[in-house]
Amino acid sequence: MPLFIMQFTTIAYPIFEQSILDYHQKNDVDADICNPYLEKSIEYYLYLKNWIDTVQWHLEDIIRDPNIEAAKALEIKRRIDRSNQERTDLVEHIDSYFFEKYQSIHYSETATFNTESPAWAIDRLSILALKIFHMQQETSREDVNEEHLSVCRKKLAVLLEQQQDLSLAIDQLLADIEAGKKYMKVYKQMKMYNDPNLNPVLYGKK
């Protein structure tokens, strides 16, 4: 079994962690991304994917400020909508990478489909990296009581276990696809609300 496949998440997850740490050097949703990887490489897209997730994570925090002005909240909401579209586009781009990689695979007669594509599972791993980072921060706060710290330590333990399980599942899925045991099939997004030809609020204003 190729080393790349067996260790894909051991390559991807540190990239996610690097992106998160790089973001928090400035901790600014408007900070410029400085992607250190070769453009159009899978590592480049993994870093970009997590950077989008990280910025959106903090936008979601900001919009929940109870004192935020309505105009500012609307501005951020629309920015989150754009971010979600970029995230979906990038997930599909990563799936296209895998689809091209495995297009010559000969599937066995007993091959089955998975409930999600590799890139959507990797999307969940990227988000999980963010949850782990921020829960770790909660476990080291000095302005909260021991009960808060204890609860967060327990949650962190669950997240770390989930990270191990999800990583293993992703690596197993990729190995099964390469072995012809699982089909690699991609369904392009069918989102309607961003499409001016499908959203009645948008096409009704033409």
Instruction: Reply yes or no on whether the pLDDT at 32 is more than 80.
Output: yes
> What mean pLDDT, rounded, does the chain reach?
91
Residue 204: pLDDT band with limits 50, 70, 90: confident
Q: Give the DSSP H or E segment for 123.
A: helix 118-138
pTM above 0.85, yes or no: yes
In a domain, 202, yes or no: no
User: Residue 113 carries which DSSP code?
Assistant: -
In a domain, 118, yes or no: yes
Instruction: Reply yes or no on whether the pLDDT at 29 is more than 80.
Output: yes
CA distance 186 to 118: 9
Q: What percent of the chain has pLDDT over 90?
A: 83
> What are 124-169's pLDDT values in tens digits?
999 999 999 999 999 999 999 999 999 999 999 999 999 999 999 9
> What are 62-117's pLDDT values in tens digits?
999 999 999 999 999 999 999 999 999 999 999 999 999 999 999 999 999 988 99
- Structural domain tally of the chain? 1
Q: Which two tokens stand for residue 202?
A: 């948008």
Question: What confidence score (pLDDT) does residue 5 get?
Answer: 44
In a domain, 201, yes or no: no
Q: What percent of the chain has pLDDT over 70?
A: 90
- Contact (CB, 8 A) for 12 and 46: yes
| Full residue range of the structural domain in which residue 64 is found | 3-195
Measured from the Cβ of residue 178, the count of other Cβ atoms closer than 10 Å reads 19
Residue 4: pLDDT band with limits 50, 70, 90: very low
Burial of 122 from C-beta contacts in 10 A (0-12 / 13-18 / 19+): buried
Residue 198: pLDDT band with limits 50, 70, 90: low
Our CA dihedral for 70, 191, 97, 43, rounded to 10 degrees, sits at 10
Instruction: Reply yes or no on whether the pLDDT at 2 is more than 50.
Output: no
